[in-house]
Chains A and B, each alone.
Chain A
Amino acid sequence: MKHIVTALFLLLTLSVYGQTPTELVTAVKSKLDRVTNYCASGKMKTNVLFLKAPIASVQVYFKKPNQLRILNEKGISFIPKGSMNMDLSQLFIDPSGFDLLDLGADAKTGWRIIKLLPRDPNSEVVLSTIYVDAKAGLIRRSSTTTRENGTFELELSYGAYAEYGLADKVIFTFNSQEYKLPKGVTFDYDDGSGKKAPSDGKPKKGRVEIQYSNYQINKGVPESVFR
């Protein structure tokens, strides 16, 4: 019995690690391709050094190939630049447009690390790295470096909509800039608590976390939402 279990484990391991990067990406993409549009409710938490914002109830709309809109219908939400990258299918809009580089498995999680190198030298994306859960056929983490907007990182947790490759929770990390307005413009009240340490000049990271619920998949999304 022990030998059978060991043999099965080895077989499974081989089958998982035996997949080429192309096969893995194809498996992931085939899940994402099942979704042509969706609308989801979500709770959005924004964490940027200079911004104090409440948790927002948002609606996230997506339509292929590359339309994504986060709307807060009741209040105001600061949406980071590059939020389009929250949708994973953006990585594979042009599957033949990049070379794949297999970096093996992550030591802790066992996720396969694959680098996507764009073939077009003028591509806005310089480099993408995805961490693929080969067993589930899902991307668990990604990092995309762009020419104009810095680096975006995604961390994804899946639940009820994993079969569509849609995450229940997305953590989106982005480069946020310094913020400063002259006191002569804002006429601040100096209450003694607004004094912050001087900037160290290093790029700051902002974070947006969306907890999704109630996806409506392939039910149609009006074009007016994206205007």
Chain B
Amino acid sequence: MLALLWIELNKIFRRPRTYIAFGAMAAIVWLIQLALYFDGQAYVDLMLSNLSGAFEFSEVFKKQLLNGYLICFVILNTLLIQMPLLVALVAGDAIAGEASQGTLRFQLTRPISRSQLILIKFAASAMYVIALLIWLALLALAGSVLLFGMNDLVVLRSTGIDQMQSDDVLWRYLAAFGFASMALITVAALSLLLSVLADNPIGPIIATMSVVIVFTILSELNIPLYDTTVKPWLFTTHMVAWKGFFYVQADAEGTTLRGSIENLPAIMRSLGILVGYIILFLGTAIYIFKRKDILT
């Protein structure tokens, strides 16, 4: 099994297109960092415009606010919505790509079951996701901290502001990246399922993106009917739960409680739902693939 996984990983990382994702991410992260390095003041002013009536913001405050931790949060906010496309590029290709190249039947002549083949493909896609997130962490977190320094993190929410001290932030990022990997592995599982259904990788890649876009729009719509019926069951609603690690608890006087998470059970519930989706997608993929007539 490990040897086969190694072969799958080799296949993924030998393809030039795999590195499109790494290159695209680097380009986006560097562009955001560059823009904020030279014009961060305008961004901070925009961020604080709603608060300028109650607080006074000195130049020192604005410089402190625009630190590496905040930049990383901004980047994750932007990128984690786009990353499913990059994941679909690889996971959508896993089975359908082999089928289109005519190598799938050959693969199945090996002494492994069809279930094992799907599980290996899935494990390889998951490892690709983790590699992508490590790359993102290096660029967005380490890179931003090197460029902008460290300070307290201020997170703007629609109803309030959560501030945490700089030495209370790093573990939150580690947890957030860990959670984000589960969210993206869910997309990889969906893409793999769609890949099983197709003989050409373009279809599963586009279909995955379509599902993610439609579900994300539904997740963000403020329609009361959907709030309790549809949204809680969309995996895209739970993909943003990584942000929950940056929502802190406060005491009765509004003082941030160090090391606290506002609603850990909600994050764990989201994690459970994502794991449920992974099992559902993977199980369905195995079920279909085992019964599929492999012609190429």
Binding site for B on A (CB under 8 A): 45-55, 69, 71-72, 74-81, 83, 174-177, 179-194, 196, 206, 227
| Apart from A49-B254, A76-B151, 9 more pairs, CB < 8 Å | A48-B254, A50-B159, A51-B161, A54-B152, A79-B61, A185-B158, A187-B81, A187-B240, A189-B243
The minimal Cβ–Cβ distance linking A202 to chain B, given in whole angstroms, is 15
B162 contacts A52, C-beta separation under 8 Å: yes
> Does residue B77 face the partner (Cβ distance < 8 Å to A)?
yes
Q: Which of chain B's residues 226-275 have a Cβ closer than 8 Å to chain A?
A: 231, 237, 240-244, 247-250, 253-256, 258, 262-263, 266-267, 270
Which residues of A are found within 8 Å of B243, using beta-carbon distances?
187-189
Shortest Cβ gap from A10 to chain B (Å):
44
Kindly identify which residue among A45, A177, A193 contacts B253, using a CB–CB cutoff of 8 Å.
A45
Contact of B220 among A50, A51, A183 (CB under 8 A): A183
Return 6 A-B CB contacts under 8 Å, by A number.
A47-B255, A48-B254, A54-B164, A179-B51, A189-B243, A193-B247
> CB of B137 within 8 A of chain A?
no
Stretch at the interface among B14-22, B52-60, B200-208: B52-60
Closest to A192 in B: B266
Whole-angstrom distance between the alpha carbons of A71 and B248 in the complex? 24
Q: What is the predominant secondary structure among interface residues of chain B facing chain A? A: mixed
- In this complex, how many residues of chain B approach chain A with their Cβ under 8 Å: the count is 52
Interface residue from A75, A185, A187, A188 paired with B166 (Cβ < 8 Å): A75
Determine the chain A residues whose CB is within 8 A of the CB of B152 once the complex forms.
Answer: 54, 75-76
Complex-state Cα separation, A189 to B231, whole angstroms: 12
Question: Could you tell me the distance between the alpha carbons of A184 and B162 in the complex, rounded to whole angstroms?
Answer: 18
Q: Is the interface of A mostly helix, strand, loop or mixed?
A: loop
Interface pair A179/B160, CB less than 8 Å apart: yes
A80, B56: Cβ atoms closer than 8 Å: yes
Contacts A179-B161, A190-B237, A193-B266 given; does A53 touch B255 at CB 8 Å: yes
If A45-B253, A76-B65, A191-B262 touch, whether A177 touches B159 (CB-CB below 8 Å) is no
Report yes or no: B267 in contact with A191, Cβ–Cβ below 8 A: yes
B256 touches A53 (CB 8 A): yes
The count of A-to-B residue pairs whose CB atoms sit within 8 angstroms is 142
Most buried by A among B163, B166, B250, B258: B163
Q: Are A75 and B165 within 8 A (Cβ)?
A: yes
Q: Which residues of A contact B247 (CB under 8 A)?
A: 189, 191, 193-194
8 tightest A-B CB contacts, nearest first = A191-B266, A52-B250, A191-B263, A50-B160, A189-B243, A76-B152, A47-B254, A75-B152
Cα distance, A74 to B165, chains bound together (Å): 9
**Given A47-B253, A183-B222, A80-B156 contact (CB < 8 Å):** no
B291 lies within 8 A of chain A by Cβ: no
Task: Given A81-B55, A193-B266, verify A184-B254 contact (CB < 8 Å).
Answer: no
**Contact: A179 with B254, CB < 8 Å?**
no
Complex CA distance for A135 and B255, rounded to whole angstroms? 36
Residue B284 is within 8 A (CB to CB) of chain A in the complex: no
Please tell me if the beta carbons of A80 and B220 are within 8 angstroms of each other in the complex: no
> A217 to nearest B CB, angstroms?
24
Chain B residues within an 8 Å CB radius of A196: 159-160
Q: Let me know if A191 and B256 touch, CB within 8 A.
A: no
Which positions 65-81 of chain B face chain A at CB distance < 8 Å?
Answer: 65, 77, 81
Alpha-carbon distance between A191 and B157 when the two chains are bound, in angstroms:
12
Which residues does chain A contribute within 8 Å of B249, judged by CB atoms?
52
Q: How far is the CA of A174 from the CA of B51 in the complex (A)?
A: 14
Among the listed A52, A76, A189, which residue makes an inter-chain contact with B64, where contact means beta carbons less than 8 Å apart? A76
Also in contact, A52 and B256, with CB within 8 A (given A180-B158, A191-B262, A206-B54):
yes
B72 to chain A, nearest CB (A): 15
Quick one: which of A53, A76, A181, A189 contacts B241, CB cutoff 8 A? A189
| Alpha-carbon gap, A80 to B57, bound state (A) | 9
With beta carbons under 8 angstroms apart, the residue of B154, B159, B165, B254 that contacts A46 is: B254
A180 in contact with B262 given A47-B254, A191-B247 (CB within 8 Å):
no
Tell me the chain B residues, 124-165 only, with Cβ under 8 Å from chain A: 151-152, 154, 156-165
Q: Flag whether B50 is at the interface (Cβ < 8 A).
A: yes
In the complex, the chain B residue whose C-beta lies closest to that of A186 is: B158
